[in-house]
Each structure stands twice: as structure tokens, then as C-alpha cells.
A and B are shown apart, each in its own frame.
Chain A
């Protein structure tokens, strides 16, 4: 009964004019950044930080805005995948397999409308999960002390390292660099300065904004410069959407199955929407019968809707570990986590207990945002493909200028800008040599809580390392860490012996 009361309270907060306005702004902004290939939700959130600072938005309003940018971007990255054969984000990697062939046959409108509905279904499934389980997981999380948090963060690190398809050492190097960046600044316990070199800008550590903009926005301009397309494959929307409801009803089970796949992957830290998108597609492909009207990869409707349902379910499902336990599971949720910390919102069981109204306002706003996205994506979808025709000579300088101004807004110093440029160039090198950026950003965001909790646990126990294995929760988490490593080792060994 209390939950119903809190939900209604959250709905009332979400329906306040300022929150509704930020929801609409966030959804539209998210759709814009998601639709343009190369610009991700992380960039959208990072570039909105100075705006939220300046306007001094309330915590729940900022949370609603950031969340809307995030799921709005994940919702719309399919547009480019279907119309241009280039996913707006890796989250729609498999959508193009069947989406682009449909666009080639003149069914782009139908493909976009069907994926809008499947994204809506996936998103709704995830929001329902958030509604009913956030409190339960937050209660578990609130019993966690420093040793359990160390184990939980170690579990996230190990999942990020083991679930990625990239080379293990590259993942580890990326994580190591993220952790190294998190160490910079004044040490809380002893007052020692670490790597600050008497530069005041570094006393509080390297600002989150500098790292995120350098890693995601500035390095992206180098990648965009390198991958400039001379010929466009963009398809126009020529068809009118008819018979959407019966078609959706026919595909309901595929949609629900994929939503479940996305949810499972979303609540598990370390994998992200890219994995969910591919996994749901492969799963449906395996279930497909030979006599289907069109084969997978040639415009199959199940192959079209499955990855998008999983993408949305995974994106919104990732809010569960973030909000209930304070643990981001992917690069974008790590950026979201950092952005919330900048606004003095510390996601986790503490926030759920002390300010449940903020969490419930966010969850209630997600229902509204998801519905708004469905309406926009069916009624206004003809206008968004115009974003794909923005020329590079407008887009690239714009990202560079906004990156500089956003960092300058936070710290009016040349040193901060220099660090951002340095990080941007370095991140470009990492991308070129296939070093994933997710472990870096997770290491940077979770490095400090990991070290703080580790040292705190040791201080409490007087240096007894056994403290880390005392509670059942910590034992379970460390066993999971061990299991993940063993499974990864076995899988690698088997794949080598097959070769």
C-alpha cells in the first residue's frame, strides 16, 4: 500500500510543469542525439550538464531530464540503422540486418512504426520491473557495508572484463586507466595530494565533465573525421503505415521474448544494450522456422522488432542496479551516474531510503516518457530522418565547440581544457586500437568508491583481510566473481581447442 502511495506521489511530482517540460526536452534531445550516428546518449547527457548547473534544477528534475535523454537516445538510434544502414549507436547494431532491407523495398515507414511499438513494449516491461523490484533490491543494498560494496564493485569489474568480446588484456588496460584517473586528487583519509602537481584544478580530482567529454565527445570527432562517408545510402520514408495493430499482435510473442532477454541482460552489470540487441536477434533467429515469409537478414519482421525490444528493455532495466544499488553497469549508465553525482544525487539504497520521492518521480516519468516516445515515433517520425542529412561541416565543428564551452562552463581554466584535449586524443588512440571505453569510464566512476570502501573496511577490521569474506552476501559476490572468471577461462579454452 505504501508503494502505491509513493508511486502516486511520484506521478504527481512527474506531472509538475517543470518536470513535464524537462521530460519533453529530454525525450526530444535524446531522440536527436540518438538519431545522428556517432553522437551517443553519453554525449547528450554530458553536454547538458552545464545547463542543469546553471538553471539549478531540483534533483528529481535533473534525474528526469538525464533519464529521458538516455532512453530517448536508445529509442531513436534505430532510425539511422533502418534508413541508412548505419546504427545511430551500437545499441541498434542488429536492427539494420532486417531494417535496411525493408527500407530498400519501400517499407521504411512500416519498419520504423513496428520498431517504435516493440521498443515501447520492451521499455514498459523494464519500467514495470523497476516499479515492483527497486525497493526490494534497495533493501538488500541497504544492508551492505564496505566489504560487500567492494565485492559488488569487483563483481561489476569482472563482468565488464569477461562479457566483452574484446581481448582481455585490452579490457584490463582500459579499466586500469580509468582507475588511475579516479585516484587523482586529495585523498579523503590522510589529506595527501595525489598527482595534483600543485595544480588547483586537480585538487578535487579530474572533473567528471572533462573525462566524459574528452572520452566520448572529442574523440568522436576524430572518429567521424576518419569515417566520413562520401556516398549516402539514405532511404526515404515513402509508405503509409497501415494495419499496425494486427501486425503487432501477430508479433507479440517475439516482442515479449526479446523484452525478457533485454531485461535479463540489462539488470546484469557489464554487458549493455549492444549485447542485448545482438542476443535477442540471435535468439529469434534460432527460433525461426524454415517456412517463414522472409529469411532473417532479408527483411524478417521478427528480426526487426526483436533487437529493438531488447534494446529498450535493457536500457531501462539498467536503471535497476543503478538506482537500487548505486552500481552502473555500462558506459552510458556510468555517465548518468557521474552526472547525478555532480548534481549531488548519489544513486543507491541511501537515496531510495532517504528520498524515495525522487526515485518514484523518475519511474513515473518513465511511463510518461515511454508513451511520449511512442506517439512521437509514430506521428512525427517523418521529420527525424532530416537529422541524418546534417552535413559534417556543421556537425563536427559543433561538437568541438560545445565540448570546449561545456568544460569551460564548469572550470574557467586553460588547464581543464588542455586535460580534456589530451584525454580526447588518447581516447581516439584507444578506439583505433580496439580498447573498449566502457571499462575505462566504469573504472573512473567506480574507482573512488572501490578504494574508499576497501580502505574503510580494512580500517574497521584493523587490517584483517578476512573481513571481506565474513558476510553471506560478500561470500556470494566473491563466489560469483570466481565463477565468472572460471567460465570465461573455460569458454576461451574451448574456443581455442575448436580452432
Chain B
């Protein structure tokens, strides 16, 4: 991935930010600058800085390592299944996947997945009273 691509993504983020900044509706205005000025200023600044940075372009490109991409996919999987499969199942599977990416054996991965799911469920659900999802797929909770 090259920095130029990253800056282009930020630039488009800045364009979207600026567009929605200009569309901020002001119900009534009794102060000199209102709520629109800061977002518009910041959006414009980001666009300008991105342009400057594209021209300077300092950091060399780096190949996205396979393990990092797989880790990203595992995190996305966890996000999508956190409520759907519930905390216990989603945590076991995700922990197993990440552990395998890092280089553990399947037994270590499975054990760490099960221990982590049970341990954190116990801590957060029973000790701290945080209601963790049980899995909407199984109609057991949110």
C-alpha cells in the first residue's frame, strides 16, 4: 500500500466531511460564527494538507502482509458475528482464528478460544454486570 493512496482516501474523506459540513442546518443563529464554521474550516484544512502531502510524499510503500490482512478479516468477522452468534461462540471462533494466524497449534488456539470466551463472559457478565449478547441467531438475546 502506498502513502499516496492513503492520502487520497483521506482527501475523499475530507471532501465528504466538507460537503456535510456545508449542509449543517442552523435552526437559529445569535452568535457570530455558528456551528458550521469549524467543520468547514477543518474539512478545508484537511483537503489542503492532503494536497500538500501528496506532493511531498515521504514514507515508502509497504506490502500489506498476509497475516495483517487475515487479522483484519478476523476482526471484521468478530464484528459481524458478535451479536449474531453471541459473545461466547463468536469469541471462541475469532480467538481461534487469530491464534492460528499468530502461529499456534489448533489445540492451543481452541483452548485459548474457549478459556477466553468463558473467562471474559464470567468477568463482564457476572462480576461487572455488562449484558453480553447471547446470539440473535439462536433467539437467546440481543
Chain A residues with a Cβ under 8 A of chain B:
50-51, 54-55, 167, 169-170, 172-173, 176-177, 179-180, 183, 187, 189-195, 218, 221-222, 225-226, 228, 391-394, 396-398, 400-402, 404-405, 408-409, 412, 414, 417-418, 421, 424-425, 429, 432-434, 451, 455, 458-459, 462-463
Contact = CB atoms under 8 A, between A and B. Distances in A.
Contacts of B46: 173, 176-177, 180
Given A169-B56, A228-B67, A393-B108, 19 more contacts: A167-B58, A170-B53, A173-B46, A180-B39, A190-B26, A191-B27, A192-B27, A194-B21, A218-B75, A222-B68, A391-B108, A394-B99, A397-B94, A401-B94, A404-B79, A414-B83, A417-B82, A432-B62, A433-B3
B15 interface: no
Given A167-B58, A190-B28, A434-B59, A176 B42 contact: yes
A430 to B, nearest CB: 8
19 contacts: A173-B49, A190-B26, A192-B36, A195-B21, A228-B67, A393-B98, A397-B112, A401-B94, A404-B82, A405-B120, A408-B132, A409-B130, A412-B142, A417-B79, A418-B79, A432-B1, A432-B59, A433-B3, A434-B58
Interface residues of B, number: 71
The 6 A-B residue pairs with the shortest CB-CB distance in the complex, in nearest-first order: A393-B104, A463-B32, A393-B99, A397-B95, A187-B35, A409-B130
Contacts of A404: 78-79, 82
A466 to B, nearest CB: 13
A50 B131 CA distance: 12
B68 A401 contact: no
Contacts of B140: none
A397 B128 contact: no
A429 B116 CA distance: 28
A400 B75 contact: yes
A393 B103 CA distance: 7
Contacts of A172: 45, 49
B13 to A, nearest CB: 9
A394 B32 CA distance: 55
B86 interface: no
A190 B132 contact: no
A55 to B, nearest CB: 8
Contacts of A194: 21, 24, 35, 39
A393 B36 CA distance: 47
